[in-house]
Structure 1
């Protein structure tokens, strides 16, 4: 009799918990994706935090388990990306440096405001304020890394706020007139080659940004359906940002301003990048004679995910030497 009562109690508790979980997910199905992001964050040894910086609420991942005076590394993601893109690299840098990987305003978990400017220049000023308010630590060098769109943003932040940035890393960075490819031509025609609205377009998106099949993320159902729905809701926002950074007057501003960067620089690309053609590396290098260069093979646009060990080695060299090779 007592055993039956215990089993009934356990079954009732299980039903209540399942009901609570179903209600929680019904209110916001994207929590399925966020739960996996939390798992990835834990594996990378990072902690989630938030801060009000200027007129936006930022969400970021960080790790400060580093020796006293260790350099601070701030990592800025690209178009349609998020802080999670940096986790494979952060995992390899953890313990040596203070690490910050924010979601840019408008993206990921950070705040988005209707009608706000999320182009290269506006975001570069926001990144500078994030450094000053959240990441800055007296006596610690500030290393600012940017991937893709984030690379263009970082180039402007470093050029316009040299007092806040000691070293710069541009990974597959946007912001220069690279050699024509299918992605760039589609953007100039007014399209969003990264648009995701069904399972087929999700596969196409992953095929564009990844070259190494082994590095492509596996997104099982229902997470895939939830992610697709989120990207569909973001379609107008993505187009508005592309209008600024891909087709507007700012599209080549990072490259033209890069000549003002005097700090040590790392330029890292993948040879098979189908988004920002590797010719962009030499265009940036022409403005940055002090830059260290790294051209990796067997990877595409997502160098920081496809080749995180090589990317970490390059960052370590930048910090250790900080001079042109």
Structure 2
């Protein structure tokens, strides 16, 4: 056997050993933290969108957020807030359509996603609105366009009403915080249950059935993602129940609707016509308090409008950005 052949065989052997070691390391990492597989997919999506992962500490709380750079220093800043059991990744389909034209800030709210949960007390609309206000002050140098989905919509409504100097325009998407017409989800929440609770594959499927009208908008979940998600949601069940106690049946459950009457900024209300979580009647309740708001009802969507019809949502946001500012102290 020649020296060249021996060297080639040695190289192949070394490569094989390195590959086996890498596979073993990855298997060990997944065994210790199976959810790392989901985080890796989220990271892949973020990179594909050209968004950067940022970390900032504000008032002792660690925030993780995705940022999309603007083409110009004076471009509008869009801050996007996710909903209950959600994360910043819920906004990625809309971000795909808005990137490159605005500065995008898409945070995990404290307690959710990658942001800090341990040591963070309270997750109601009021306290979270105050935290988002502090986050905006720490990351922005001008009033922002504040966009909130579901629970995030309730937080956005409170913040826009209480801190108008920070919020130039506001968009509420399937927003919580008003006493909408009774549906099964709302009745279960009022009864003390968590209709979003996940403890096995069947309840995971039910969770997605409640959220999505267009099942084609569901992200792909190849094996072993479903089992990983079930395990994660089971471990989060106590936290979810505590948050639902605050926003769904606590003294602040209708705070966003009450505060919405003080919103004077240009506003957008967008709902899925088939929303089984926050009934579309909620849009009319918000509109009665925000007569300046443009309204969009999406016939092809359930609760997850930002994922089911992201193109229409992006168009609606563009319309909000084009609206003339309201006169100080008066509804448009």
Q: TM-score, normalized by length of structure 2?
A: 0.94
Report 1:67-78 matches (<5 A): 67-78=72-83
Aligned equivalent of 2:329: none
Residue 289 of structure 1: how far off its partner (Å): 0.7
| Structure 2 residue 281 is matched with structure 1 residue 279 | yes
Alignment correspondent of 1:162: 164
Offset of residue 113 of structure 1: 2.7
| Structure with bigger gyration radius | 2
In the alignment, the residues of structure 2 paired with residue 81 and residue 248 of structure 1 have an alpha-carbon distance, to the nearest angstrom, of 20
Which residue is equivalent to 1:60? Answer: 65
Q: Alpha-carbon deviation of 1:278?
A: 0.3
Structure 2 distance, partners of 1:115, 1:318, is: 33
Match of 1:21 among 3, 20, 26: 26
Q: Contact conserved, 2:61 with 2:120, CA < 8 A, in 1?
A: no
Q: Partner of 2:262 in structure 1?
A: 260
8 Å Cα contact 1:71-1:142 kept in structure 2 = yes
- Give me the whole-angstrom Cα distance separating, in 1, the residues matched to 2:291 and 2:188: 31
**8 A contact 2:94–2:314 mirrored in 1:** yes
Per the TM alignment, residue 322 of structure 1 is displaced from its structure 2 partner at its CA by 4.1
Asked whether 1:137 is paired with 2:141, we answer yes
Q: How far apart, in 1, do the equivalents of 2:297 and 2:123 lie?
A: 29
* Distance (whole Å) between structure 2 residues aligned to residue 33 and residue 256 of structure 1: 38
More displaced 10-residue stretch of structure 1: 214-223 or 276-285: 214-223
1:300 matched to which residue of 2? 302
CA deviation vs aligned residue, 1:184-229 (integer Å, no higher than 9, x gap): 0010111100011111111100110000011012212212211111
What SS does the aligned partner of 1:218 have?
coil
CA distance in 2, matches of 1:80, 1:323: 33
Asked if 1:101 corresponds to 2:106, the answer is yes
1:323 deviates by: 6.3
How far apart, CA to CA, are the structure 2 residues paired with 1:317 and 1:180?
A: 31
2-structure distance, mates of 1:323, 1:101: 24
Instruction: Output the CA distance in 1 between the equivalents of 2:314 and 2:120.
Output: 37
Cross-structure match for 2:45: 40
Match of 1:188 in 2: 190
- Alignment match, 2:3: none
Q: Distance in 2 between matches of 1:30 and 1:7?
A: 33
Aligned length: 322
Unaligned runs of 5+ in 1: none
| Runs of 4+ more than 3 Å apart | 322-325
CA–CA separation in structure 2 for the residues paired with 1:68 and 1:2 = 56
User: Would you say 1:288 and 2:290 are equivalent positions?
Assistant: yes
Write the distance in 2 (CA, Å) between the matches of 1:126 and 1:323.
Answer: 26
Cα offset, 1:306, TM superposition: 0.3
Deviation at 1:66, TM superposition (A): 2.4
Q: Provide the C-alpha distance between the structure 1 equivalents of 2:8 and 2:118, rounded to a whole number of angstroms.
A: 56
Is the partner of 2:85 in helix, strand or coil?
A: coil
Residue from 280, 290, 311 that aligns with 1:309:
311
Match of 1:210 in 2: 212
The alpha-carbon deviation at position 315 of structure 1 amounts to 0.3
Tell me how large the CA RMSD over aligned residues is.
1.4
Matching residue of 2:95: 90
Q: Which residue of 2 aligns with 1:246?
A: 248
Using the TM superposition, give the Cα deviation of residue 4 of structure 1 relative to its aligned residue in structure 2, in angstroms. 2.1
Q: Deviations over 1:103-152 (max 9, x none)?
A: 00000000013571011111000011111111x124xx510000000000
Q: Which residue of 2 aligns with 1:320?
A: 322
